């Protein structure tokens, strides 16, 4: 075992290696509606987001009509950041969640200067942004610098299924619109629990299953017709937004994800539908 590998990570890796060895054809995974070798999915996801990194935030605004901002605000309301927060924001490359949390910590401390990092809420807190894609992290770092944020937020390239953090090292874990892109959702959930301290909170904001039947057909047409065309015109990558629509349909519905969270060892699991189930916010705790 290497010095950077924890016992929990070693056990999970051994289990995955054993499963792969028992499958002579190799493990498979879904990349949207395509089936690929499991080992190929992460590089495909990384390449996709590297391609759209520069226009990722703009596309989020355009394709959601800005509603994603309200969803993220709801997520941060649930998180309720307080002084002493040690947050891991996974798949958070462009920094949208991290920067919002940082601003909330400053406001809580009465420090409303966007270019100051000396408020008590910030001085006692730290945020780690972990993302698989270097290009996304570069955008996030640039956004932080543009706001005068020179410390308090670390930008780390890493995989949600094998986080580069010690056991029980953070008291909050967030992942927004990233969980559906991992190869093994169950493994990512176990990793989230591993890095959380006892009493730490897990929050996942993700596209989900529409719960308003009359709205479902309209949403499908928008997802599979409008979004790819918008992606081609704005981000120069139609395929990335075809994948987006397909990956949403492949993602477990609300109740199934809640069950997976519980199976990974998270407690007091609950979820809230947003905008009729277009997105859902899931919460759990490490007890």
Whether 172 is in a domain gets the answer: yes
Is residue 219 a contact partner of residue 210, using CB atoms and an 8 Å limit? Answer: yes
Write the CA distances from 224 to 31, 110, 181, integer angstroms. Answer: 16, 45, 18
Whether 236 is in a domain gets the answer: no
Whether 230 is in a domain gets the answer: no
Whether 21 is in a domain gets the answer: no
Lowest mean pLDDT among 55-64, 134-143, 199-208: 55-64
pLDDT above 60 for 10: no
pTM of the model: 0.86
pLDDT above 60 for 236: yes
- The predicted structure's pLDDT at residue 14: 44
> What's the CA gap between 287 and 284, in Å, rounded?
9
The domain of 281 spans 70-209+251-285
Rounded to the nearest integer, the mean pLDDT of the chain is: 89
Lowest mean pLDDT among 46-60, 168-182, 266-280: 46-60
Q: How confident is the model at residue 238 (pLDDT cuts 50, 70, 90)?
A: very high
Whether 193 is in a domain gets the answer: yes
Pairing of strands 267-274, 196-207: unpaired
Whether 91 is in a domain gets the answer: yes
11 or 33, which is more confident: 33
Over residues 98-125, the pLDDT tens digits come to 999 999 998 866 544 444 444 467 889 9
Q: In 10 A of CB 39, how many CB atoms?
A: 12
Structurally, how many domains does the chain consist of? 1
Whether 100 is in a domain gets the answer: yes
- The predicted structure's pLDDT at residue 115: 41
Residue partners of 142: CB distance under 8 A and separation at least 6: none
Burial class of residue 221 in the structure, from the number of CB atoms within 10 Å of its CB (0-12 exposed, 13-18 middle, 19+ buried): exposed
> Across the strands, what pairs with 156?
130
Residue partners of 3: CB distance under 8 A and separation at least 6: none
Q: What is the mean pLDDT of residues 37-59?
A: 93
Is residue 53 a contact partner of residue 140, using CB atoms and an 8 Å limit? Answer: no
- The predicted structure's pLDDT at residue 114: 44
C-alpha distance across the termini of the chain, in Å: 27
CATH number of the domain bearing residue 257: 3.40.50.150
* DSSP track, the chain: --TT--HHHHHHHHHHHHHHHT-TT--EEEETTEEEEHHHHHHHHHHHHHHHGGGHHHHHHHHHTTHHHHHHHHHHHHH---TT-EEEEET-TT-HHHHHHHHHHHHHTT---TT---SHHHHT-EEEEEES-HHHHHHHHHHHHHTT--SSEEEEE-BTTB-SS-TT-EEEEEEES-GGGSS-HHHHHHHHHHHEEEEEEEEEEEE-----HHHHHHHHHIIIIIHHHHIIIIIS-HHHHHHHHHHHHHSPPHHHHHHHHHHTT-EEEEEEEEGGGTEEEEEEE--
Whether 235 is in a domain gets the answer: no
Over residues 130-178, the pLDDT tens digits come to 999 999 999 999 999 999 998 999 999 999 999 999 999 999 999 999 9
Over residues 213-235, the pLDDT tens digits come to 888 899 999 999 999 999 999 98
Q: What is the mean pLDDT of residues 2-20?
A: 47
């Amino acid at each position: 075992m290497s010095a950077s590998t924890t016992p929990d990570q070693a056990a999970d890796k051994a289990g995955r290696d054993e499963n792969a060895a028992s499958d002579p054809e190799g493990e498979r995974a879904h990349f949207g509606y395509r089936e690929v070798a499991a080992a190929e999915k992460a590089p495909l996801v990384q390449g996709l987001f590297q391609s759209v990194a520069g226009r990722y935030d703009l596309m989020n605004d355009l394709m959601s009509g800005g509603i994603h901002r309200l969803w993220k605000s709801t997520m941060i309301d649930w998180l309720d950041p307080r002084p002493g927060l040690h947050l891991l924001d996974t798949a958070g490359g462009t920094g949208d969640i991290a920067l919002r949390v940082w601003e909330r910590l400053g406001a809580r401390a009465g420090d409303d200067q966007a270019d100051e990092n000396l408020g008590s809420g910030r001085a006692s807190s730290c945020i780690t942004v972990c993302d698989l894609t270097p290009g996304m992290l570069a955008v996030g770092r640039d956004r932080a610098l543009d706001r005068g944020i020179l410390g308090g937020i670390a930008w780390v390239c890493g995989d949600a299924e094998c986080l580069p953090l010690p056991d029980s090292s953070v008291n909050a874990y967030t992942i927004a619109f990233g969980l559906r892109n991992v190869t093994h959702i169950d493994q990512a959930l176990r990793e989230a629990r591993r890095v959380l301290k006892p009493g730490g909170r897990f929050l996942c904001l993700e596209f989900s299953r529409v719960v308003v039947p009359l709205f479902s057909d309209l949403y499908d047409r928008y997802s599979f017709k409008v979004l790819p065309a918008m992606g081609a015109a704005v981000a120069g990558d139609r395929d990335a937004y075809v994948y987006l629509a397909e990956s949403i349909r492949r993602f477990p519905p609300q109740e199934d994800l809640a069950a997976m969270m519980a199976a990974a060892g998270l407690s007091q699991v609950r979820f809230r539908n947003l905008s009729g189930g277009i997105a859902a916010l899931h919460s759990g705790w490490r007890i």
